[in-house]
Amino acid sequence: MIGPGLAGSGGAGGPSSTVTWCALFSNHVAATKASLLLSFVWMPALLPVASRLLLLPRVLLTMASGSPPTQPSPASDSGSGYVPGSVSAAFVTCPNEKVAREIARAVVEKRLAACVNLIPQITSIYEWKGKIEEDSEVLMMIKTQSSLVPALTDFVRSVHPYEVAEVIALPVEQGNFPYLQWVRQVTETVSDSITVLP
């Protein structure tokens, strides 16, 4: 039943109500088309997240079992020759840009990293010695070979002003092959001279 506000002056079933129904149906069709269009626009953006969520049970199972995760074979990267996880992105926070620049230059000069991005003005909220702290920091994003992460960590700890320096690294599973190859080439000499014990 159409209420008085929707039926118009012609009453229920009159010409005015037919026009109102057509307008409502037209708006419904337009809204449906808009939501369909939005789903096509947002779906590709959500697929990487969804694919990561599908891996979550495997990761949790691996963590619960205590066994290390299995490494994918080099052949799984569509023939590019990149071994997934052989390059890492390491993250280090610094108290200011001066400290971050000094550390960044040093790790690149020592070939412990191919590239360091400085991301200014991040806000870090954390607990330290029983107190909640909030600081403005600079985030360093360091690209290096995964085999160099221990040496990179040792170097950062030796020059960093914090009592406990944040150095965390995530393996790069895939990306632009020429870039990943360049990261490996730039850091190759250091990687060859470092012995990593199992």
Domain ranges of the chain: 92-187
Burial label, 182 (beta-carbon count in 10 A; 0-12, 13-18, 19+): middle
CA-based nearest residue to 156, from 198, 94, 96: 94
Beta bridge partners of 127: 132
Task: State pTM to two decimals.
Answer: 0.59
Tell me what pLDDT residue 98 has: 98
Tell me what pLDDT residue 189 has: 73
DSSP letter assigned to residue 175: -
Let me know: does 137 contact 92? Beta carbons within 8 Å: no
CB-CB neighbours of 116 under 10 Å: 21
Report the amino acid identity of residue 173: E
| Torsion from C-alpha of 19, 23, 28, 31, nearest 10 degrees | 170
Tell me what pLDDT residue 8 has: 44
Tell me what pLDDT residue 51 has: 46
| Torsion from C-alpha of 186, 198, 141, 168, nearest 10 degrees | -170
**Could you tell me where the DSSP H helices lie in 66-113?**
97-109
In three-state secondary structure terms, 196 is coil
Phi, psi of 87 (to 5 degrees): -115, 145
Q: Which fold has domain 92-187?
A: Alpha-Beta Plaits (3.30.70)
Helix 97-109 vs helix 149-159: crossing angle, to nearest 10: 140
Residue 158 CB contacts under 8 Å (≥ 6 apart), including other chains: none
- Each residue's pLDDT, cut to its tens digit, for the chain (198 residues) gives 444 444 444 445 555 555 554 454 555 555 555 444 444 444 444 445 444 444 544 544 444 445 455 544 444 445 668 999 999 999 999 999 999 999 999 999 999 999 999 999 999 999 999 999 999 999 999 999 999 999 999 999 999 999 999 999 999 999 999 999 999 999 987 655 554 433
Let me know: does 169 contact 146? Beta carbons within 8 Å: yes
